[in-house]
Amino acid sequence: MRGSWQERFVESPDVLKSSERPQTIVQVLDLEIGGGDFITMAGPCSVETEFQLMATAHHIRRGGARILRGGAFKPRSSPYAFQGHGLDGLKMLARAREESGLAIVTEVMSECDVPMVAEYADILQIGTRNMENYSLLEAAARSGRPVLLKRGMMATVADLLRSAQLILDHGNPNVILCERGIRTFETATRNTFDVGAIALLKHISHLPVIADPSHAAGHRELVPALARIAVAAAADGLLVEVHPNPDKAWSDGEQSLDFAGFDEMMASLDPYLALRGLVLTEPERVRHMEAVG
């Protein structure tokens, strides 16, 4: 069976599992992504204000997240939509890391910005629109930071693995794959969540795989269910949008969980994680749930 996968993904040989490389564990601060813990990355689509970011960081930390996500540079469908605070947003993310202890993941959109973003972020995110921006992938690889590679909205699994192979080819083994839904004929959700891709990637690749149910769903009511599905498909973690007041969010509020919704989602994951034998909760989340419950 393994030979057939090698033949199918012949252009990406180094991302496939082998006896010498059964699983890559990406080290981020004191975290191991792809190891024995399920890692949740959460936070707002866009860094808006210091208050918004700090409130979110402290809440998601208490709720069990280990990495804070937030966009300083935002690739938007409309040129008139909020495009992010840029360097000021990066500085706010760095202050949030100092106060909360969370690692930081944020998107980089241009190879020219890679050194600046790498100075502030612990993980560089390559967004769906840039999955095949090879100049950007090369620059991100050379930064030495772990790279979170989102699947392009119209990319096949083979396309995703080719982009991951390029990063490995440029000397960076720390790649995290992300399934965030793909564009199909279905319009009821923002994208079509390809849970089969998660199961396939976990079967054939040694790279960690996480899921982004927020962009897959486009509707906050669906995010917890898709998150549970991702756990059942053996994902190594989640990337979820959370905002103190989603209805007032500057971007993607319709798919962002509020704080109560985030807590409920995290609690709902526990039985699914238990079936996989993973750590259910960190002590800080247990204390928080006892305090509010």
Q: Are 42 and 65 in contact (CB under 8 A)?
A: yes
Q: Are 107 and 71 in contact (CB under 8 A)?
A: yes
| pLDDT tens by residue, 62-105 | 999 999 999 998 665 555 554 567 899 999 999 999 999 999 99
Burial of 157 (0-12, 13-18, 19+ CB in 10 A): buried
Helix (H) or strand (E) holding 69: strand 67-69
Please give the backbone phi and psi of residue 152, each rounded to the nearest 5 degrees, phi first.
-60, 150
Please state, as a whole number, how many other Cβ atoms lie within 10 Å of the Cβ of residue 163.
Answer: 25
Please report the domains of the chain, with CATH numbers, ordered by start residue. 2-292 (3.20.20.70)
Q: Which of 239, 246, 278, 248 is nearest to 261 (CA)?
A: 246
Q: Which amino acid is at 36?
A: G
117 has pLDDT over 90? yes
Q: How many angstroms separate the Cα of 126 from the Cα of each of 3, 241, 249, 291? A: 30, 16, 22, 37
pTM of the model: 0.92
**pLDDT mean across residues, the chain:** 91
DSSP reduced 3-state for 16? strand
| pLDDT tens by residue, 188-244 | 999 999 999 999 999 999 999 999 999 999 999 999 999 999 999 999 999 999 999
Between CA 94 and CA 105 the distance in angstroms is 10
Q: What's CA 207's distance to the chain center, in Å? A: 14
| pLDDT tens by residue, 242-282 | 999 999 998 889 999 999 999 999 999 999 999 998 855 45
292 has pLDDT over 50? no
Largest distance between two CA atoms of the chain: 54
Q: Which of 7, 34, 3, 8 is nearest to 18 (CA)?
A: 3
Instruction: Give the alpha-carbon dihedral of 242, 73, 34, 210, to 10 degrees.
Output: 60
Q: Which of 170, 192, 180 is nearest to 150 (CA)?
A: 180
